[in-house]
């Protein structure tokens, strides 16, 4: 099974999700419109989570490289 890239960037999905939440909170929608927006919000949240999981994995891999035997281990070179 190959992992597919999300169709939107993290920023695009986050911004659209923010708009969906704002529209849901403003009210005045029919039940059907609210459900459709809710479903879109769930998909957008999933896209954001995929991007964040990918970023976490890349960060973990980078940190693991830094702590492999033979790598310089000083607190001065910590990324944060």
Predicted confidence at residue 2, as pLDDT, reads 45
Which pTM does this prediction carry? 0.71
Q: Check if the beta carbon of residue 48 is closer than 8 Å to that of residue 13.
A: yes
Q: What is the dihedral of CA 4, 9, 14, 20, to 10 degrees?
A: -80
Which domain covers residue 58, as residue numbers?
10-63
* pLDDT tens figures, 25-45: 999 999 999 999 999 999 999
* pLDDT tens figures, 41-61: 999 999 999 999 999 999 999
* pLDDT tens figures, 61-79: 999 988 876 555 555 555 5
Structural domain total, the chain: 1
- For the record, the structure tokens of 15 come out as 């911004």
Q: How far apart are alpha carbons 23 and 15 in whole angstroms?
A: 13
């Amino acid at each position: 099974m190959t992992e597919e890239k999300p169709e939107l960037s993290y920023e695009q999905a986050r911004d659209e999700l923010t708009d969906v939440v704002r529209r849901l909170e403003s009210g005045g929608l029919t039940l059907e419109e609210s459900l459709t927006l809710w479903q879109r919000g769930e998909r957008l949240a999933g896209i954001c989570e995929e991007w964040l999981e990918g970023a976490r994995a890349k960060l973990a891999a980078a940190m693991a490289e830094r702590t492999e035997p033979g790598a310089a281990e000083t607190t001065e070179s910590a990324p944060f």
